[in-house]
Amino acid sequence: MKIRPRRSVLYMPGANDRALEKAKSLPADALILDLEDSVAPEAKPEARDKVIAAVKSGGYGRRELIIRINAIETPWGADDLKAAAAAGPDAILVPKVSRPGDMASAAKLLKAYGAPNHTRLWAMMETPLAILNARDIASVAGDAESRFSCLVLGTNDLLKESRARALGDRFAIIPWLAGSVLAARAFGLDVIDGVYNDFKDEMGFKAECEQGRTLGMDGKTLIHPSQIEPCNRIFSPSEEEVSWSRKVIQAFALPEHKSKGVITVEGRMVERLHLVMAERVVAIWEAIAR
C-alpha cells in the first residue's frame, strides 16, 4: 500500500525568505510555496524566483513540496507553470479550478514544458463552480496522464464567493466540504481541508481539525507553524485505532478465519471491508513513524 501522510500542509508566501528557510525544520508533512494570493502583484516575479530556487536547492527532507501557481489566465500564470515544471516539485497546485478542462489543460501544459513524471497536480476547490462540478473535476484523475492526486479546499474564497457566513461550526459550508470528500474518494484522490485564519485560537483550531477528520479529510492546510503539532496529532490514527486495527488483521490471519467473510472480534461484527480499513490505518501509522 503506497501511502503518503498529508496531515499538515503549511502555506507560506513565496516572497518570504524567512518562512522558506524556517520550513526546513518544521514538522509539517507538506509545504505549499505560494505564488498566488499571499503575494502582492508587484512581488510576483521575485517570489517566483525565490520559490524556484528553494525547490532546486532542496533541504526540505521528506516534506512534500508543492508550488501554488497563479491562475493560468492571469499575467503570471503561464510563466509560473513553466518555471514550476522545470523545477520539478512534488506537485503544482492550480488555483481557482472550476471545470474538468482546467485540470486537463494544466496536465497538457506540464507535459509540453517537460515536467518530470513525479510532479503531480493538485486542485484548489474554491469557486462555486468547482463545488458544483466536483465530481467531473475529480473524474479527470481517471486518466493516468492527468497527474492528478489531490484536492485542496479554499474555504476563504468559498465564503467570499458564496456570501455564506463564517460561523465557528462551518454550518454553511459543510455540505461543500463533504461533497468534495466524496468526489475525491470516488476517483482515488486525497483531499485536504481549508485553513483556520485565527491562528492564536488553539481551541477553535483543534475543534475544526476534529471536524475535518470526521468528514474524512486527509489533513488540513495551515497558515502558521503553531498549527502543525496539534494538526498532526488529530489527523494521526490514535493508539486505540492502531491497536484495534492490529487485532482485526491478526484475527483474519488465523487459519480458521482465512476463508471467512465475517467474524467476531471482541464481541463486534467485523467484515473483510473492516480488514481493508484496518490495513490502511496500520499502513498510514507506519508511514508516519518513518
Residues that bind ligand COA (CB under 6 A): 10-13, 18-19, 22-23, 34, 37-38, 195, 223-225
Minimum gap (Å) between residue 195 Cβ and ligand COA:
5
Minimum gap (Å) between residue 60 Cβ and ligand COA:
12
Minimum gap (Å) between residue 287 Cβ and Mg ion:
29
Minimum gap (Å) between residue 264 Cβ and ligand COA:
47
The listed partner (ligand COA, Mg ion, none) that binds 34, CB under 5 to 8 Å by sort, is: ligand COA
Total of chain residues touching Mg ion, rule CB under 5 A: 4
Beta carbon nearer to ligand COA, 17 or 286: 17
Minimum gap (Å) between residue 182 Cβ and ligand COA:
24
Beta carbon nearer to Mg ion, 5 or 14: 14
Beta carbon nearer to ligand COA, 13 or 77: 13
Is 157 an interacting residue with respect to Mg ion (CB under 5 A)? Answer: yes
Beta carbon nearer to ligand COA, 54 or 251: 54
Minimum gap (Å) between residue 153 Cβ and ligand COA:
11
Beta carbon nearer to ligand COA, 157 or 284: 157
The listed partner (Mg ion, ligand COA, none) that binds 22, CB under 5 to 8 Å by sort, is: ligand COA
Beta carbon nearer to ligand COA, 137 or 153: 153
Out of 5, 89, 154, 219, which residue is the one contacting Mg ion (CB under 5 A)?
Answer: 154
Measured CA distances, 121 to 35, 144, 202, 241, 267 (Å): 15, 12, 31, 31, 44
Minimum gap (Å) between residue 224 Cβ and Mg ion:
17
| Residues found in the chain | 290
Three-state SS sequence of the chain: CCCCCCCEEEEEECCCHHHHHHHHHCCCCEEEEECCCCCCHHHHHHHHHHHHHHHHHCCCCCCEEEEECCCCCCCCHHHHHHHHHHHCCCEEEECCCCCHHHHHHHHHHHHHCCCCCCCEEEEEECCHHHHHCHHHHHHHHHCHHHCEEEEEECHHHHHHHHCCCCCCCCCCCHHHHHHHHHHHHHCCCEEEECCCCCCCCHHHHHHHHHHHHHHCCCEEEECCHHHHHHHHHHHCCCHHHHHHHHHHHHHHHCHHHCCCCEEEECCEEEEHHHHHHHHHHHHHHHHHHC
The listed partner (ligand COA, Mg ion, none) that binds 23, CB under 5 to 8 Å by sort, is: ligand COA
Picking from 55, 110, 52, 121, the residue whose alpha carbon sits closest to that of residue 83 is 52
Is 193 an interacting residue with respect to Mg ion (CB under 5 A)? Answer: no
Question: Footprint of Mg ion on this chain (CB under 5 A)?
Answer: 37, 126, 154, 157
